[in-house]
Chain A
Amino acid sequence: MKKFSYFAVILSLIFLLSSCANKKDVNVNPSDITSDIINTFSEDISMSELNSDRITKYYDIDMEKIESFSSYIEGSGGFADEVSVFKMKSEDDISAAKEAVESRIAQRKKDFDGYNSWELDKIEENCISVQGKYILFVISDNSQEAEKIFKDYLK
């Protein structure tokens, strides 16, 4: 019985060590993810990239917590489509990004309240997904496909 216990402990240690050894620090450029996601958007939608000068108008977020990001909004002003991928400096900063995204959703609901109700439905079906230090926010008719692309990049 004692030998069996030693054996179980050793096996557990080996399993834990191997798990840690396999866990690599994922380093994906957010713009690679967003460009693939935008390809799933309708061709009739014109997307416009937000640079670091403009992003803070759209997201109430502390830029010091962001390591890198890529963000696109619909350009013409008439549609709600958008996609953002933020890579935060630490996983602890994900909560701040989530708050910014929730605030953005509330703003967009207000923008489209009583105007183009089908866009409001699209906003309601938004997707927020987290993988480690990365967070995806997307409003699109193809948000499920966008989430799959995001997860495939970061698995």
Chain B
Amino acid sequence: MPNNNWGGANKKYKSNRPKFHLSIIFLLIIVIFLLCFILYMITSQNNGINSLTVLSSDTSVQDVSEEITAETTTTTVATTTVSSPVNVNPVPENSPKDFSYFNDCVFIGDSLTVGLSSYGIIPEKNVLANTGLNIDKINDAKIKTETGEIALLDELKAVNPKNVYIMLGSNGIAWLSNEHMTEKYGEFIDKIKAQHPDLTIYILSIPPVSVNKETSTEGSIQNTAIDSYNSELLKLADAKKINFVDINTALKGNDGKLPVESAGKDGMHFKKDTYTIMLNYILQHTVKE
């Protein structure tokens, strides 16, 4: 019996030994795997992951020279020091910001942007806009402020926002070509970038018009022309590596036009509630600052 007991204990001891070796081997494999992974990450960082191909919604290919963001892999957060947002355009829906977000924003544009301040929705200092402003005038534009008339870009420097939203083109679409407008638009973007390298820039698609504007005898505009221009703006945003927010789609009715009740009598300029729709859409479509 004692022999049996001893023999039983000895048998038990012997049966544990192979399991112990397997654990050691398993741990070694994990350690080697982790070491390889860390080495791979360091190598990747040194070489620079500079070319990430992103498909835009219009299926055009965009070469984004940015580093991978936290959304791409959580592991890189620990190993990369710079994490700029990748501009996927149009900017997809995100968790909505609250209205105070606009305290750090400036809106640049024409009469459609003027409405933001004249209705008292956005503070005057955050709206750099003029009625009648168009792409041809934007690069030398001056705006009226409390202290007098000042160059738009100088006022942008004075306000020094974190984000700028530009909505231009509704004036001019009836008589300027898309090529000309996007060329001038691009020049304006370049000036802003040179003046504010850290500013997050958004191009807003220009809004649709109602059937009243399409059939107006006093300067009609067609939604097909607006759509065509907006698709060029999307390409411009991609080329300039800035953001594009498609408010046009958000404002369209089922018939592809601005609902008549959303606009004033000209079928183009907004009623106050229409700005609420537009701003809510913007708050839901931001990029990481």
Residues of the A chain whose Cβ atoms lie less than 8 Å from the Cβ of B110: 77
Q: Kindly report which residue of chain B lies nearest to residue A44, judged by CB atoms.
A: B265
Q: Kindly report which residue of chain A lies nearest to residue B218, judged by CB atoms.
A: A118
By DSSP majority rule, is chain B's interface helix, strand, loop, or mixed?
loop
Contact B120 A54 (CB under 8 A): yes
Contact A78 B272 (CB under 8 A): no
Per-position contact with A for B254-282: 1 when CB-CB < 8 Å, else 0?
00000000001110111110000000000
Contact B131 A115 (CB under 8 A): yes
Given A75-B272, A76-B111, A78-B264: A111 and B119 interface contact (C-beta under 8 Å): no
Contact B171 A77 (CB under 8 A): no
Q: Which of B112, B131, B144 contacts A57 (CB 8 A)?
A: B144
Q: Does B114 contact A (CB under 8 A)?
A: yes
Contact B272 A57 (CB under 8 A): no
Q: Which of A48, A112, A115, A118 contacts B119 (CB 8 A)?
A: A48
Contact A42 B118 (CB under 8 A): no
Report the Cα distance A42→B265, complex, angstroms.
10
Q: Kindly report which residue of chain A lies nearest to residue B263, judged by CB atoms.
A: A76
Contact B171 A74 (CB under 8 A): no
Please report which residues of chain A, range 72-116, place their CB below 8 angstroms from some CB of chain B when the two chains form the complex.
Answer: 73-79, 107, 111-116
Q: Kindly report which residue of chain A lies nearest to residue B265, judged by CB atoms.
A: A44
**B192: shortest Cβ distance to chain A, in Å?**
22
Q: Does A126 contact B (CB under 8 A)?
A: no
Contact B118 A73 (CB under 8 A): yes
Report the Cα distance A116→B112, complex, angstroms.
14
Contact A113 B118 (CB under 8 A): no
Contact A76 B145 (CB under 8 A): no
Residues of the B chain whose Cβ atoms lie less than 8 Å from the Cβ of A60: 148
Residues of the B chain whose Cβ atoms lie less than 8 Å from the Cβ of A79: 264, 266, 269
Q: Does B115 contact A (CB under 8 A)?
A: yes
Report the Cα distance A48→B132, complex, angstroms.
19
Q: Does B87 contact A (CB under 8 A)?
A: no
Q: Which of A73, A78, A114 contacts B269 (CB 8 A)?
A: A78
Given A54-B120, A112-B131: A75 and B146 interface contact (C-beta under 8 Å): no
**A109: shortest Cβ distance to chain B, in Å?**
11
Residues of the B chain whose Cβ atoms lie less than 8 Å from the Cβ of A54: 120, 124
Given A57-B144, A57-B146, A115-B132: A48 and B120 interface contact (C-beta under 8 Å): yes
Contact A74 B118 (CB under 8 A): yes
Given A78-B269, A115-B132: A46 and B264 interface contact (C-beta under 8 Å): yes
Please report which residues of chain B, range 14-47, place their CB below 8 angstroms from some CB of chain A when the two chains form the complex.
Answer: none
Residues of the A chain whose Cβ atoms lie less than 8 Å from the Cβ of B272: 46, 48, 75
Per-position contact with B for A17-40: 1 when CB-CB < 8 Å, else 0?
000000000000000000000000
Contact A48 B118 (CB under 8 A): yes
Q: Does A45 contact B (CB under 8 A)?
A: yes
Q: Which of B124, B129, B130, B268 contacts A78 (CB 8 A)?
A: B268
Contact B132 A76 (CB under 8 A): no
Report the Cα distance A151→B111, complex, angstroms.
33
Known: A44-B265, A48-B118, A77-B113. 13 other contacts (CB 8 A): A48-B120, A74-B118, A77-B110, A77-B131, A77-B269, A78-B111, A78-B131, A78-B268, A111-B130, A111-B132, A113-B132, A115-B132, A118-B218
Return the 9 tightest CB-CB contacts between A and B, nearest first: A77-B114, A78-B269, A115-B132, A44-B265, A76-B269, A77-B111, A111-B131, A77-B115, A75-B119
- Could you list some 12 contacts between A and B, CB below 8 A? A45-B265, A54-B120, A57-B144, A75-B118, A76-B115, A76-B264, A79-B264, A111-B132, A112-B132, A113-B132, A116-B218, A116-B219
